[in-house]
Amino acid sequence: MGALYEKMSRDLRLRNMSPVTSKIYLACCSKFVRFYMKSPAEMGLTEIDAFLDMLGKQDLSPSMRRTYVASLKFLYGVTLDRLDVSSKIPWPKVAVKQPDILSGTEMAWILTAITQLKYRVAMATAYGGGLRVSEACRLQVGDIDSKRGVIHIRAGKGRKDRSVMLGDRLLQTLRQYWSLVRPRGPYLFPGGKPGKPMSPTSLRKALYEAVAKVGLKKRVTLHLLRHSFATHLLESGTDIRVVQIILGHSSIRTTQHYTRVSTRHLATRKNPLDLLGTPDGSVLG
């Protein structure tokens, strides 16, 4: 892509896109260019549709197909300033599947199965704060605010800062970890290289090994811990708008899509039919 690559890279930075997202968008658009060996400026909807059709025949995940669309929309809508093309690139229709949520017991099994202290505490922190894997790995010692009872997340998704809850049990766990490990450098969970944080790949590996050890049949990922955290908050009676703030979502609709109301939560709700003709039914008017 040459000069266009540099312009798109600059546009991504100006719009405060994360380095990871920028790298993925640029890679997707580079693949589009290599597919035709032509400049995007010389192409339009016909080539885009054919490229997306080719991708649709490959074994790509729904989220990856949406990422290709998002990157091409950015390329044409922002970098090339061709909104007439960008607005007509169709989003792929994908089935929305509810993930299997971990129960509290299953979460406890997983944490117990992780033998290496650093990974066990990092996993507990990711679940206990509803953190994204990158946020958990990049935590610094100064982000733990024991006086206010919160964890400060610096430059999360969308480069936004936020604070999440720091429970008593997690604080105690972190204090024990600190007294035993005393990590050098700024990062709470340092990686193998000096001055670098723990790798998300390393944390994922620790999770997969723990899941295999306890024999769980569910498809467990680090992101599922975030789903489970949000669902457990809802089950415990936390208002969904509070969950929205903790997760760092700009829109309540994202939170509604991201979380699910469990069958146990539904079973505890009073059916309006049961209230008719009873003293409690006065709330219905």
Sheet containing strand 150-153, edge to edge, reads 144-145, 150-153, 162-165
Check 73, 132, 138, 227 and give the catalytic one: 132
Check 82, 157, 213, 260 and give the catalytic one: 157
Q: How many other β-carbons are positioned within 10 Å of the β-carbon of residue 133?
A: 22
Is 223 annotated as catalytic? yes
User: Helix, strand, or coil here: 185?
Assistant: coil
Is 76 annotated as catalytic? no
Is 182 annotated as catalytic? no
Sequence-distant (6+) residues with CB within 8 A of 21 are 12
Check 175, 223, 241, 253 and give the catalytic one: 223
Question: What are the C-alpha distances in Å from 53 to residues 45, 69, 162, 229?
Answer: 12, 11, 39, 37
Is 68 annotated as catalytic? no
CA distance 202 to 167: 25
240 — phi, psi (to 5°)? Answer: -65, -25
Tokens coding 38: 């032509």
Question: What are the C-alpha distances in Å from 227 to residues 31, 151, 269?
Answer: 32, 19, 21
CA distance 81 to 103: 48
Check 82, 152, 258, 260 and give the catalytic one: 258
**Residues annotated as part of the active site:** 132, 157, 223, 226, 249, 258
